[in-house]
Structure 1
Amino acid sequence: MKKINTMILALAASGSAVAGGMNDDPFLFMLKVDKLEFRDTNEGTALVWDAQAWAGKDLNKLWLKSEGEKGEEGTEEGNLEVLYSRAIAPFWDVQAGWRHDFRPTPDRDWFAIGVKGLAPYLFEVDATAYAGESGRLAAALSVEYEYMFTQKLILSPELEMNFYSKDDEEVGVGSGLSDMELGLRLRYEIVREFAPYIGVNWWNKFGNTADYAEAEGGDASDVEFVAGFRLWF
C-alpha cells in the first residue's frame, strides 16, 4: 500500500495502540535519522545530518531534534531542539520547547511551538514558530512527500524554508524569507529500517542573508549532488 512506511511511523507517534481488543499504552522509544549524507558543494565535501528521537507514551512524548552541516573547516550550522509533544488528532502532534543554535556563533536560543504530522494527500509537514532574544521571531517550514515506485524504491521530494523578523548580521541572517531548499532523493530500502539514497539538492539565500554570505566570500545559491542513508529503530 502506498506510503505504508510513513503511515506506520506516524501512527506510532500519534495514534492509539490497540492490542487484543483492549487499549494499550506502553512506553516507547524511536530514533530516526532522516538524513546522514555527503554533499558535493562549491566549497568541497560537506556532511549533513537531520535526526530526531522521541520517548514516551501514546499522547505525550519528549522529542529531540538536531540538524546541521559540517564542511571542510568544521561545523558551519547546527542546532538542537528539546520539545514536549502531545497528540491532538490522528497523525498530528503539537510541540513546544527550546531550540539552541550552536553554529554559527554567537549561539542563539529560542522558544519553539509548532505542529508536526500528515497533511491531506499524505504530505509530511513540520511547521514551527520561534521567539528569541531581543524580540527576534522566526519560522521554519518543512514539507516532504514519498512516491513509492515499488515497496523498496522510493522517491522523496522535499521543501524547507526559514523566515526571520529581524536582520541578525552576526550569524548571517536577514529578515523575511532567509533561505529555501529543494531536494529530490531516491532511496532503496534494503530493510525497512535502513535505506541508502542518492539525490540532488538546490538551495538559495535571499535578501540580506544572501548579501551577508557573499560579503564573507561564500555562495548565495548552489546545486549539490548528495549520497547518504536513512535509518530508524
Structure 2
Amino acid sequence: MNRLVIALVPLMVAVAPVATQAQTAHGGHTTPPPPARTQTPSAPHAGHRTPAPAPARPTRPATGPHAGQRAPARPVVADLHAGHVAPTPPVATDPHAGHDMSTMTMGQSETPAQPETDPHAGHDMSTPPAATNPHAGHDMSTMAMGPPDVPTSADNPGRPPEAPVPVTALSGPTHAADLIYGAAAMAASRRGLVVENGDIRTTAVIVDRFEVSSGNGADSWLWDVQGWSGGDINRFWWKSEGEGEVGGNLESVEIQALYSRAVSPFWNLQTGVRQDVRRDGGDTTHLVLGIQGLAPHWWEVDAAAFLSTDGNLTARAEAEYDQRITQKWILQPRFEIKASANDIPELETGTGLTSVSAGLRLRYEFRKEFAPYLGVEWSRALGNTADYVEARGGQVDDTRVVIGLKAWF
C-alpha cells in the first residue's frame, strides 16, 4: 500500500494545479465556475486585470494517520491592487536651484571654509569723512557772543540800553503802603522790622584763657578776656589781659575800650584806647587801631597797632584755630608775635620782632560754655629784646606746661 502511494506522488504533483481550480472545500465535487460579472465604470477596479493564482507548492509525503489523504485546497485571494501602477511621487523643487553655493559652509563639511568677504574691501578709509558743519554758509558775524540779553541797570556792551524810569513812577510816595495805612503807622512798622531782622542787640563775655603755667622760671598765672555789646554792625568791644606770679603780686594789667565796625561779613575794624597798669609804676596809655575776624580756613585773627603817649609804636598779632577731634575734644594751636618800631629799655623791648610764642592746648567741652584744657606753650625773645633779657639774667626761651579754662557767657 505504501509503495502504491509513493508511486502516485509524482502524478499528483503534476495534476495538482488543474485539480485545485476545479475543486472546492468538498473533495471530489466539481463546482461550476461562477458567472462572469459585468464591471461597471463605477467599480473601483474596473478594467484591472487580476493575475493568475500562484501554483501550489508540492506536498511532502506524510507518514501520519492521514497519509494518502488530500487536504482541501485553500481559496486564492485576489490582490485588490494587482495591476495598479503606482504613480511616481513629484520631485520636490529645490528652492536654491540655480544658486552658486560653492562658497557656503555646510556645517561640518570636509570642504574647507572659505574666508569671509570684507564688506569694506576696496574702500579708502585712510581719511575719515569730515563732519558737516550745520552752520556752514550761515553769516554769524552779527550774532552777539557776549553776556546774555538781560536788562541791567547799566548799558553794558552786548546788552540793550535800558530805558529811563518813567516820571510818573516817582511821583508818588517812597512807600506805597503809606497811602493806605498812613505814613506814621508804617514808619513804626519799618522800625520794628529793622529791629527784628538786623538791629538786634547782643552782649557776650569770652574767657579765652584763664590758666596757670609752670616752667623753668617761677609758676605764673594769667587771664585773656574780651567781650562786646551791640548789633551786627556797630559794637562796643572791650579786652583785658593780666599776669602775675602764683602766690605773689600782680605784675601787669592791660585794658582796651574799642569801637568795632563790621567792614565785611567776617571782619571788624576796631579803634579806641588801651591802658597799661604795671606794678613798677610805668603806666602807659595807647591809641589802638586793629582788625579782628575770621581768616580763611577758620583761623581766628586779632591784630592791632599801638601808639603810646610816649611816642612808642608797637604791634601784636594773635591767631588760633579750633581743630575738632570729636564733638567734645578740641585741639587748639595758638601763635602770637610782637614787634616794636623803636627800643623801649624800661620795658626790655628792642627794635624789630621782640618775641614769638606758640602753644598747643587740648580741651574738653562739658558744655559749649565750659571747657577746661591742658597744653604746652613755648616762647622766645628775639633781637635786642633777647639782649635785655640776658642782661638782667633771664632766659631767652622758655617752655611751660599750662592748665586752664575756656568759657563764655
Range class of TM-score, shorter chain: 0.7 to 0.9
Tell me the distance in 1 between the aligned counterparts of 2:323 and 2:202: 28
Q: Secondary structure at the match of 1:44?
A: coil
Q: What TM-score does the superposition give when structure 2 sets the normalisation length?
A: 0.50
The equivalent of 1:94 in structure 2 is 269
- 1:120 pairs with 2:296: yes
Matches within 5 A, 1:1-150: 23-72=197-246, 73-103=248-278, 105=280, 106-150=282-326
Deviation string 1:150-202 (CA, Å, 9 cap, x unpaired) is 11110000110111111111121111101111010000000000000000000
| Greater strand content | 1
Which residue identity does 2:242 align to in structure 1?
Answer: G
Q: Secondary structure at the match of 1:67?
A: strand
The equivalent of 2:400 in structure 1 is 224
Q: 1:104: Cα distance to partner?
A: 5.9
Q: Secondary structure at the match of 1:209?
A: helix
Tell me the distance in 1 between the aligned counterparts of 2:217 and 2:333: 24
In the alignment, is the contact (CA less than 8 A) between 1:114 and 1:129 conserved in 2? yes
Structure 1 residues without counterparts, runs of 5 or longer: 1-18
Which residue identity does 1:110 align to in structure 2?
Answer: H
Which residue identity does 1:74 align to in structure 2?
Answer: N
CA RMSD, aligned part only? 1.5
The equivalent of 2:334 in structure 1 is 158
In the alignment, is the contact (CA less than 8 A) between 1:104 and 1:171 conserved in 2? no
Deviation string 1:109-138 (CA, Å, 9 cap, x unpaired) is 111111100111111111111112343211
Deviates more, 1:166-175 or 1:184-193: 166-175
Q: 1:99: Cα distance to partner?
A: 1.0
Tell me the distance in 2 between the aligned counterparts of 1:47 and 1:159: 18
Tell me the distance in 2 between the aligned counterparts of 1:212 and 1:177: 14
Larger RCO, structures 1/2 (Cα 8 Å, 6+ apart): 1
Aligned length: 213
Tell me the distance in 2 between the aligned counterparts of 1:147 and 1:232: 18
Tell me the distance in 2 between the aligned counterparts of 1:178 and 1:78: 19
The equivalent of 1:16 in structure 2 is none
Structure 2 residues without counterparts, runs of 5 or longer: 1-192
Q: 1:113 to 1:25 in 2, by over 3 A?
A: same
The equivalent of 2:368 in structure 1 is 192
Q: Secondary structure at the match of 1:203?
A: strand
Which residue identity does 2:372 align to in structure 1?
Answer: P
Q: 1:96: Cα distance to partner?
A: 0.2
Q: 1:23: Cα distance to partner?
A: 1.1
Structure label with greater radius of gyration: 2
Tell me the distance in 2 between the aligned counterparts of 1:74 and 1:145: 32
Which residue identity does 1:178 align to in structure 2?
Answer: T
Q: 1:145: Cα distance to partner?
A: 1.0
Tell me the distance in 1 between the aligned counterparts of 2:251 and 2:386: 16
Which residue identity does 2:203 align to in structure 1?
Answer: F
Deviation string 1:40-81 (CA, Å, 9 cap, x unpaired) is 022221111110011111211111111121114422343111
Tell me the distance in 2 between the aligned counterparts of 1:222 and 1:76: 18
Deviates more, 1:170-179 or 1:186-195: 170-179
Q: Secondary structure at the match of 2:219?
A: strand
Deviates more, 1:43-52 or 1:67-76: 67-76
Q: 1:217: Cα distance to partner?
A: 2.7
In the alignment, is the contact (CA less than 8 A) between 1:32 and 1:51 conserved in 2? yes
Q: 1:223: Cα distance to partner?
A: 0.3
Tell me the distance in 2 between the aligned counterparts of 1:83 and 1:199: 30
Q: What TM-score does the superposition give when structure 1 sets the normalisation length?
A: 0.87
Q: 1:75 to 1:216 in 2, by over 3 A?
A: farther
Q: 1:177 to 1:104 in 2, by over 3 A?
A: farther
